[in-house]
Amino acid sequence: MTKTINQPILNPIKTPPLGGWGATLSGPFIQLLTMDKLPERGKLSDEQLEIIPDAGILHQEGRILAVGNFEQLHRENPDAKIEFFEGDFVCLPGMIDVHTHICWAGSRANDYAMRLAGKTYLEIAEAGGGIWSTVMKTREASVEELTALTVERAEKLYRQGISTIEVKSGYGLSVDDEIKMLKAIQLANEKTNAELITTCLGAHMKPKDFPGNEREYLQYIIENLLPEVKKQNLANRVDIFVEKGAFSVSDAKYYLSEAKKMGFDVVIHGDQFSNDCAALAAEFDAVSIDHLEYADDEEIAILAKSNVIPVVLPGASLGLGERFAPARKLLDAGCSLVIASDWNPGSAPMGNLLVQAAILGAYEKLSMAETWAALTCRAARALKRNDIGVLKKGNKADFIVFETGDYREVLYMPPNPLKGE
């Protein structure tokens, strides 16, 4: 069977065909990068990549049975259905986007125009744009409308080769509207080829229609939103935006402490416009701290001594015209590094993870191994997953295929991938 670059092959299929699945052998691939056996943190060289030539993947019911030489796998499994790739192809794990806001309604094109005219992110928010304008549109939307919008954006990412997508709430900012968003994300997960992971971002900002201060708003969602999220099993991750115009470090300590008592994993939007969140993330053993554009050497040193995973978001730097996060310094200091898109209607409206990662790699001098690890195996750890991001026996059969004979071509000149099946 010949594949063409214009026809993505979608994987994983969430429900088996009638009669169940038999084993399928996909290949041969000129190169297959397993992304296995790499250190969890620190610098990586391309020589550390495990590259299998003339490779195949044997998979059944959405799980990998074996990875190895295509002809050998064929001889050992003569009854397997063959998904034959004629020509030059390379295969990698499906990419993982660990930070998105793709559940929203409305448009922020006016914000973008104001930004091009010289207004800052904070000035736009003060003028009535920013997060609050999206909150108003999202509150007006039904759960069905939000579900459809989320599916549309998730499928766009899926066609780019992203098989696992974290999706945040945070544009409802009331109990009912945050619950509506989280339900929409869960419903979208049933309708898209990608796997969606929900995060509750009720602490995105204090809504303008809330009568109290920031601490009182956090108390309100601690008492009313988070218990309902737990009761309805809508998310097991909680995020908070720590920044001027959002929440202080002191308020975040209170919120994170209470969220952890309830059993939530915690992540932090931190160091986007200032640099005082690394110690906070380390103190609460956050799974990740995301943004880090303004992280300095002191912040990096704190993170290097912690288990917190730095997640950098080049899409926000591009969308805002801001500096990139110091990815090179983070790796050199011994930190892990994950790259995510931050796709949202305001600061990061472009939503193309592979291109953003390629641009960041050029500016920050990241090896190809460091960039691919940041999109696959290291990204999986930022979601506390050990069954994705690596092509090996027992893992999910999430793999992407590029029409080239050399994996280095992919970041050099990013194409649209095929999706493995």
For the record, the structure tokens of 388 come out as 């994705």
User: Is-contact 64 56, C-beta < 8 A?
Assistant: no
Confidence at residue 96, expressed as pLDDT on a 0 to 100 scale = 98
Domains and CATH numbers, the chain: 24-94+389-419 (2.30.40.10), 96-382 (3.20.20.140)
| Global pTM value | 0.93
Q: What is the mean pLDDT of residues 312-336?
A: 96
Lowest average pLDDT, out of 20-29, 90-99, 174-183, 296-305, goes to 20-29
Q: Is 170 left (phi over 0), alpha (psi -120 to 50) or beta?
A: left
What mean pLDDT is reported for the chain?
93
pLDDT at 90 over 90: yes
Confidence at residue 4, expressed as pLDDT on a 0 to 100 scale = 31
Q: What is the mean pLDDT of residues 278-284?
A: 98
User: Beta 162-168 vs 195-203: how paired, if at all?
Assistant: parallel
268, containing H or E segment: strand 265-270
Distance of CA 387 to the CA centre of its chain: 15
- Rounded CA gap, 15 and 409, in Å? 34
Dmax over Cα atoms in the chain, in whole Å? 70
User: Is-contact 167 128, C-beta < 8 A?
Assistant: no
Which residues, 6+ apart, have CB-to-CB distance to 22 below 8 Å?
60, 79, 80, 81
User: How many degrees, rounded to 5, is the angle at CA 272 between CA 314 and CA 245?
Assistant: 135
- Rounded CA gap, 108 and 111, in Å? 5
Strand partners of residue 198: 167
User: Beta 63-69 vs 51-60: how paired, if at all?
Assistant: antiparallel
For the record, the structure tokens of 280 come out as 């906070």
For the record, the structure tokens of 204 come out as 């995105």
pLDDT at 230 over 70: yes
Q: What is the mean pLDDT of residues 278-299?
A: 98
> Given the structure tokens 């600061």, which residue do they identify?
347
Distance of CA 131 to the CA centre of its chain: 20
Q: What is the DSSP secondary structure assignment for residue 183, as one 8-state letter?
A: H
Confidence at residue 206, expressed as pLDDT on a 0 to 100 scale = 96
| 50 exposure class (CB count in 10 Å sphere: 0-12, 13-18, 19+) | middle
Q: What is the pLDDT of residues 193-222, one digit of tens each?
A: 999 999 999 999 999 999 999 999 999 999
Mind giving me the DSSP string for 54-94? EEEEEEETTEEEEEEEHHHHHHH-TTSEEEE--S--EEEEP
